Structure 1
Amino acid sequence: MSIAFNRLADALRDRGVPTRYQGGALRAQGICHDGDAPDTVAIRRGNNGGVVIFCHKCQGNADFLAALGWTEADLYDEPLPERERPADDAWIPCQQRGHERVAQYTYRDAKGRVVHGVTRCDHKCFAQWRPDASTRSGRRWSLNDQQGNRLVPTVPYRLPEVLKAIAEDRVIWIAEGEKDVHALVHHGLQATCNAAGAGKWTEEHAQFLRGADITIVADRDIPGRRHAEHVVETLRGLAHSVYVVQSKTGKDAADHFAAGHTDSEFLKVWAPVPYPGDEAATA
């Protein structure tokens, strides 16, 4: 077994590069040029345990390695030295399409250990990753295995800070995304969200908020409303109280504060305390 070969196959899969096995080799699309042929690059296991790469259009492997962000040293099974790894923001999966990183969100467990992260680009791509010391970047750009099974725990954003705030009887605000969470935190509030936006909140997220007083900021669109309703349902029997509010101006918490409003000026749209029924009080 070649560790380097498997590492390369994983890297190509994580980047969405089409591959297929043919004639004893892994055939890949030429990310080193603009051609769309799916098998211009041949990748084989070498006799020394490494990897041999040859692009039939480029007549070599230098351009392919450069496009991947690898060096010749990465074609061998030895662990990648730390000095060979790029900085956290040196590469993101959509960089090949000209996108640039604009934000980095790290999800941690109750003890502050990194569980996974989300990298946002200037085209609003949200790439999720998990720590993996065997890769060049120290990351694997997927939270699942090849069968689609999740490999990392499900935790809400800023979990250590949220747990501390609950212990101090502070209100926990739940937004739809990390940008809105930071807008709330910037204004002195304790806030959290789930990764991947609307519709991705689960009962696993809710379990961390047992006994808390919650305010949910619902985005002003149909997905935002449905997301808020789902979050409320998962908190039934867990949270001490739940309010749902919306921005006074714009779509979300970031828009609300950008317009100069304060946290007391959010519009209350639902306020069961605690859960007297399913009727919604609108403001």
Structure 2
Amino acid sequence: MIAYGRVIDAFRDHGLVVIERGGNSATAQAPGHSPADRSVSIRAIEGQVLVHCHSDETATVLDALGLAMSDLFDNPHGATYQYDDGRIVRRTPFKRFSQGGNTKGTTLFRACRLGEATVVYLVEGEKDVLAIESLGGVATCNAMGAGKLGMFDLTPLYGKKVVVVRDMDEPGEAHACQAIALLDGHAEVELVAPAAGKDAADHILAGHGLDEFVPVVAPMPEGVHKLSDAAEDWWKWQQAPADEVRIFPTPWPHLNDVIAGGLHPKRCYIIAGRPGGGKTIGLLNIGQFLGESGHPSLIFSMEMSLLEMVSRVMAAGAEASYSHITRRELDQWDLRKLELYRNGGRVDETQLYMMDHSTLTIEDMFAVARQMKHAVGLDAVLIDYIGLVTASKGKRERRDALGHVMKEAVKMAKELDIAVVIASQLNRGPEQSSRPPVLSDLRETGDIEQDCDGAFLLHHPQIDGIPTGEIEFIVGKNRTGPAGVIVTLPWRPNYAKIGT
């Protein structure tokens, strides 16, 4: 309380009104303001005093009182924070930090006080912890600031209600997201923001209580785009002048023209076909239908760009020519259908989200899906396709890498209580012999066949060597019903669509 007394005396020595409230807090008249002014908040915490002026810059107020930043600390060199495992964190009056003692420790600040608490505030810095303690709350943080929480032992927080108080800056948002992910499944987590200022200490100094933090929705993960947002950029691209668009056609004109239920939660499905056989179209059709039905769905594509995915979704939704969209040569009929689809509310209401990074591991997808679940809810994840998923660390053999992807996808489905649908390639045998595919034709690893709950094998039947214009979904595996059933649907690649 040394610094607190020093600050109170300085106000009174300058003839300013000070109203103390309970021994560790006060309000005061700001220099140059009327005696009725109470715009300065003063609060003592362990080792220092917090001062904030609502009417003037705090630094200006301190200067008028003849106080320096060092006068706000009991020790003019700053504050020292002792961790239970021997780590020592030092903070200078000018917010420079240094560490000593057991710098390899993993214990949270004030960990010894967490045992009996049912509600713990998880904040970003030691000053915030002490500010919350000044109101009788229990709080903790990790050393070294934002982004380092994963290096610390969080088990003292397990089984408790953890209120994550985010700092109001970009590192603070990322730190809060990390906390939510690390505590998922281990604690009841609530994300809040200060009602005033940048952090928990500012919130309390502004006169707000622990029950006045502002609940916030977890932020969306970086790189995920809602269809309505992506469609805005897609529309600008679609309508852009030709000289603003760069197209690199292949030597094959026909290729240039073409390029571009009942799912259950806790289950993993495979949709398999040859290249160009419809697995990507089928995957997008499933995601689009789920999204239009109000089930939040997330598509990861390692192969297609965001514009290409939106092009296919728009073609299927409006039943407009996909080849015309990719060439940006829409006739009035297709243009009208696209406008009706886009402006009729279906795009805005569709709960479909997309991510087009080409170097994601299955662990990356798991983390994004978990954050999506907290942010907006999530019912399904769709992956295009398994052969392009980046190998996880330590998985050098391709068979091992793909088997690991399957096992983690099954784990994702179960832990997040969602359906996971993965596109996969079939071996060349079925295509070359024109015979319908079987489960053993799934490419490169038996783990796909073994671990999936359902497998849909795509086949294009022919009569006298001529395609019938239909596509068959051969149900090769089905844990929730009979296998071996063949579902025949119209094949409409011109609309990037399967079915009517």
Residue of structure 2 aligned with 1:262, choices 201, 209, 215: 209
Deviates more, 1:119-128 or 1:99-108: 99-108
Q: Work out the CA distance in 2 between the residues paired with 1:123 and 1:245.
A: 27
Matching residue of 2:79: 103
Between 1 and 2, higher relative CO (CA 8 Å, sep ≥ 6) is seen in: 2
Q: Work out the CA distance in 2 between the residues paired with 1:128 and 1:203.
A: 16
TM (normalized to structure 2)? 0.29
Q: Higher Cα Rg: structure 1 or 2?
A: 2
1:278 aligns with 2:374: yes
Q: Deviations over 1:53-78 (max 9, x none)?
A: xxxxxxxxxxxxxxxxxxxxxxxxxx
Which amino acid is the alignment partner of residue 149 of structure 2? Answer: W
Matching residue of 1:231: 179
Name the CA shift for 1:276/1:229 in 2 (closer, same or farther; >3 Å).
closer
Which amino acid is the alignment partner of residue 217 of structure 2? Answer: W
Q: Work out the CA distance in 1 between the residues paired with 2:209 and 2:101.
A: 36
2:129–2:141 Cα contact (<8 Å) kept: yes
Gaps of 5+ in 2: 1-74, 219-370, 378-500
> How big is the shift at 1:258?
0.8
Q: Equivalent residue of 1:105, what SS?
A: strand
Q: Work out the CA distance in 2 between the residues paired with 1:217 and 1:270.
A: 12
Q: Work out the CA distance in 1 between the residues paired with 2:96 and 2:372.
A: 40
Q: Work out the CA distance in 1 between the residues paired with 2:376 and 2:140.
A: 24
Which amino acid is the alignment partner of residue 108 of structure 1? Answer: D
Which amino acid is the alignment partner of residue 181 of structure 2? Answer: E
Q: Work out the CA distance in 1 between the residues paired with 2:125 and 2:372.
A: 28
Matching residue of 1:190: 138
1:153 aligns with 2:124: no
1:203–1:234 Cα contact (<8 Å) kept: no
2:142–2:152 Cα contact (<8 Å) kept: no
1:269–1:280 Cα contact (<8 Å) kept: no
Equivalenced residues, count: 153
Q: Work out the CA distance in 1 between the residues paired with 2:78 and 2:151.
A: 30
Residue of structure 2 aligned with 1:162, choices 88, 99, 114: 114
User: Where do 4+ consecutive residues of structure 1 move more than 3 Å?
Assistant: none
1:243–1:270 Cα contact (<8 Å) kept: no
Which amino acid is the alignment partner of residue 278 of structure 1? Answer: H
Name the CA shift for 1:206/1:128 in 2 (closer, same or farther; >3 Å).
same
Gaps of 5+ in 1: 1-98, 110-114, 132-142, 144-151
Q: Deviations over 1:228-253 (max 9, x none)?
A: 000111101211x1001001111111
More helix by share: 2
Name the CA shift for 1:203/1:270 in 2 (closer, same or farther; >3 Å).
farther
The correspondence of residues 210-221 of structure 1 with structure 2, limited to 5 A, is: 210-221=158-169
Matching residue of 2:196: 249
Name the CA shift for 1:276/1:196 in 2 (closer, same or farther; >3 Å).
closer
Name the CA shift for 1:280/1:174 in 2 (closer, same or farther; >3 Å).
farther
The correspondence of residues 1-283 of structure 1 with structure 2, limited to 5 A, is: 101-109=77-85, 115-130=86-101, 143=103, 152-165=104-117, 170-202=118-150, 204-239=152-187, 241-270=188-217, 277-280=373-376
Q: Equivalent residue of 1:108, what SS?
A: coil
Q: Deviations over 1:155-179 (max 9, x none)?
A: 10001101232xxxx2010010000
